[in-house]
Structure 1
Amino acid sequence: MNPVSLILNILWIVTGGIWMAAAWLFAAVIMAITIIGLPWARSAFNIANYTLMPFGRTAVSRDEWDGREDLGTSPLGFLGNVIWFLLAGWWLALGHVMTAIALALTIIGIPFAWAHLKLAIISLWPIGKRIVDNEELEARARQGYRVPGTL
C-alpha cells in the first residue's frame, strides 16, 4: 500500500469508516449464524475488510477478472444478490449514503463521501465481486489484459 493510500485509509477510519465496516461485519456474523446465510457471509466478510480500508483497492466483477463465470456470477448469484438486497443490502446502502451525506457537508469529507457512495452501490449487489489491489490492476493493464470496469 502506497503512503497516500495509507494516510487516506487512516483518515477514513477516523471519519466513520470503522462504523460501516462494523455494520458489514455484523451482517456477516448474522448471516453466518443462520448457516443458510453462509454464502452471503463470505461476501460480507470480504466487503467488511474492503470497507475498513478501501483506498488502494478496487472492487471488480469476478467474471471479468477471471474471464469465466462462476457460481457467484451465474443466475444463482443473481438470485443470491436479490435475497441479499432484501435482507441486508438496502440498510447497508442506506448507512453508506447517510454517512456520505454527513461527510459531504464538510469540504475535507468529500473524497470520503465519494468512497461511501461507491460502497453503497456494492452494498446492494456484493455477490460476485472480488477486491483487488490497485497495483494488481495496473500490472494487469501493463501486461495488455483488459482491466475490469474500463472500456
Structure 2
Amino acid sequence: MKTIGNIIWLIFGGLLTAIEYLISSLLLMVTIIGIPFGLQTLKLGILALWPFGKTVVDNGSSCGCLCLLMNIIWIFIGGFWICLTHFAFGLLLCITIIGIPFGRQHFKMAALALTPFGKTIQ
C-alpha cells in the first residue's frame, strides 16, 4: 500500500515539489552561511519525493542550543510559510476520504518544515 501511495503522490505533485526543494537547496548552498539551511531543505525534498512509510524522528537534545537557534532563524526566514502551505494543502486534501492519506503526509511535512533542525527521516 505504501508503494501505491508513493507512486500516486509522485505523479500528482510529489516530483514537482521535490524538484522545487532541490533547486532551493542548491541555491541556499551557494553561500557558506546557507549550507545548513540548504541541507534542511534537501531533507524536506527527500521526504517530498517518497513520504509514505517514512517517519520524522526527533533526535532529542543531541545538538542543544544550536538547533534551537537555527530553528528560530529558519522560522523567520521562511519555514513558517512552508509549514503554512503544507498545512493548507493537508486541510484541502482531507476534505475527501480518498485524500486523507495524502493530507496526513502534508501534515507530516508541515511539522518538519516548521522546525527541521534536530530531526531525521527514517
Using the size of structure 1 for normalisation, the TM-score is 0.72
> Is contact 2:47–2:109 with CA below 8 Å preserved after alignment?
no
2:87 alignment counterpart: 97
Q: Matches of 2:27 and 2:77 in 1, distance apart?
A: 11
Matched, 1:111 2:101: yes
The CA deviation at 1:50 is 1.2
* SS of structure 1 residue aligned to 2:29: helix
Alignment of 1:34-45 (within 5 A): 34-45=31-42
Matched, 1:27 2:24: yes
The CA deviation at 1:22 is 3.4
Q: Matches of 1:117 and 1:58 in 2, distance apart?
A: 12
1:56 alignment counterpart: 53
Q: Matches of 2:24 and 2:65 in 1, distance apart?
A: 23
Structure 1 stretches of 4+ moved >2 Å? 14-27
> Is contact 1:27–1:44 with CA below 8 Å preserved after alignment?
yes
Which protein shows a greater Rg? 1
* SS of structure 2 residue aligned to 1:33: coil
Aligned residue identity for 1:7: I
Using the size of structure 2 for normalisation, the TM-score is 0.87
Structure 1: give runs of 5+ residues left out of the alignment. 133-151
Q: Matches of 1:84 and 1:55 in 2, distance apart?
A: 25
> Is contact 2:21–2:42 with CA below 8 Å preserved after alignment?
yes
Task: Name the count of aligned residue pairs.
Answer: 122
1:135 alignment counterpart: none
Structure 2: give runs of 5+ residues left out of the alignment. none
> Is contact 2:83–2:110 with CA below 8 Å preserved after alignment?
yes
Could you tell me the percent identity over the aligned residues?
A: 36
> Is contact 1:59–1:131 with CA below 8 Å preserved after alignment?
yes
